[in-house]
Copies of this chain bind each other. A is one copy, B any other.
Amino acid sequence: MSQDLRTGRRQWMGVAAALGAALAACRKAPPTGDASGRLLGAPVRDYGARSPFETDTRAIADTRFPETWSSRTPLQDSVGMLTPSSLHFERHHAGVPTIDPAQHRLLVHGMVDRPTIFTMEELKRLPSTSRICFLECSGNSSSEWGNKPGRTAQQIHGLASCSEWTGVPLSLVLNELGVQQGAQWLLAEGADPCRMQRSLPLAKALDDTLVVWGQNGEALRPEQGYPLRLIVPGFEGNVNVKWLRRIEVTDGPYMTRDETSHYTDLMPDGTARQFTLMMDAKSLITYPSGGHRIKPGFCEITGLAWTGRGRITRVEVSVDGGARWSDAALQAPVLSKAFTRFRLPWRWDGGEAELQSRCTDETGYVQPTKEALVAVRGVQSNYHNNGIMVWKVDGDGGVTHA
């Protein structure tokens, strides 16, 4: 189904035929396109910005309440595994507070021997660590549960992003303060006006949870929790509490509004799954995807895969509606609980095609078809849809949600 240009064994007919385009050839050096002219360019500057020719934005659906809303990452244009901080998805419940880090405090109390209030300066003096990991809202891809699918990868799946985070392991803080016998959970509370509150099992808090102040080499962005947030690798976005102000160690979950009336999965029998915090393995073809238009000839199929359970070990791609599957190449380094970029060379013959990807993680979990997911979970949930996503290529190269 595909030929890999990377073998380098084929020659000119590779690029020319593969692109299906008439590349401009020349025997001598002709004047080449010279978009810059010879005028002296712009000077160095203290803080950069992107080119005016680049206009990608987060997508914001119509709303009367932009403070309690979301914006979505343009995954269809993503390259590599990182999301630029300016394009990291947002999901707020009472808007983005403006917090002076010199005034911010973190209280850690409850079932600990030495309840403590930390300043930012005190937290930053502790031993720190960095980690690249994804963040995904559990409501991502929720339109896939119903029959009103979005049009683009961004609109459907754009509540997922990946950054390098830097901060102090929460285990270090909790162990130093002395966790008491019988403690099983904790509550994390944000400094946003709604005081977002979520419960987290103590085992996860002591495993790989971080209290972070850094994102992609600089301070957290305001909409990502500046100056302090929780990063709970692999767990649904909402428990990665932003603008973190308080951690209370408890003997059970707090049963806050956002883990009872929201962020639960309503099952076909009318019961609700609660505390389904782990994000299951998921993958997505980002190019070509909804809204793209491709040309006959070579086309690199590329996308992203991730899992809350560790590393992605395999991504398969089908271009014929799931009849045959080919292993995609995984871009190194493949990091635990991070976006993994996959790529597969393909030659589009101009006919109709159905593109989809299916990932497997290190636990052996395989991303399910949407049908398999619905058979178990029904269609009442708003959360945790990780079903295989199909893009349809029509005869003129247009790509749409299948």
Contact = CB atoms under 8 A, between A and B. Distances in A.
A324 interface: no
A10 B69 CA distance: 44
Contact of A219 (B30, B50, B107, B125): B50
A116 interface: yes
Contacts of A343: 127-129
Contacts of A345: 127
Interface in A279-337: 297-300, 302, 331, 333, 335
Interface string A102-115: 01111101000111
Interface residues of A, number: 133
B81 A164 contact: yes
Contact of A214 (B80, B104, B169): B80
A25 B176 CA distance: 13
Contacts of A40: 67, 94-95, 193
B107 A192 contact: no
Contact of A24 (B49, B87, B116): B116
Contacts of A117: 23-26, 30, 32-33
A115 B26 CA distance: 6
Contacts of A222: 42, 48, 50-51
A341 to B, nearest CB: 6
Interface stretch (A241-249, A260-268, A370-378): A241-249
B105 A33 contact: yes
A101 interface: yes
Nearest to A48: B86
A23 B221 contact: no
Contacts of A4: 127
A108 B29 CA distance: 9
A23 B215 CA distance: 26
Nearest to A217: B82
Given A33-B103, A42-B95, A58-B45, A27 B115 contact: yes
A335 B333 CA distance: 8
Interface stretch (A13-21, A359-367, A382-390, A392-400): A13-21
A79 interface: yes
Contacts of A87: 47-48, 217-218
B115 A166 contact: no
A121 to B, nearest CB: 9
B85 A8 contact: no
A216 interface: yes
A88 interface: yes
A35 B100 contact: yes
B191 A125 contact: no
A80 B166 contact: yes
Contact of A44 (B15, B39, B92, B130): B92
A6 interface: yes
Interface string A189-228: 0011100000000000000000001101111111100110
Given A172-B8, A221-B51, A44 B24 contact: no
Contacts of A14: 176
11 contacts: A5-B127, A8-B172, A15-B126, A44-B70, A44-B90, A48-B223, A51-B219, A51-B222, A54-B219, A56-B218, A125-B297
Interface of A: 4-6, 8, 10-12, 14-15, 19, 21, 23-30, 32-54, 56-58, 60, 66-67, 69-71, 77-88, 90, 92, 94-101, 103-107, 109, 113-118, 122, 125-130, 164-166, 169, 171-173, 175-178, 191-193, 213-214, 216-223, 226-227, 243, 245-246, 248, 297-300, 302, 331, 333, 335, 341, 343, 345
Q: Across chains A and B, which 6 residue pairs bring their CB atoms closest together, nearest first?
A: A41-B95, A43-B66, A33-B105, A36-B97, A79-B214, A46-B57
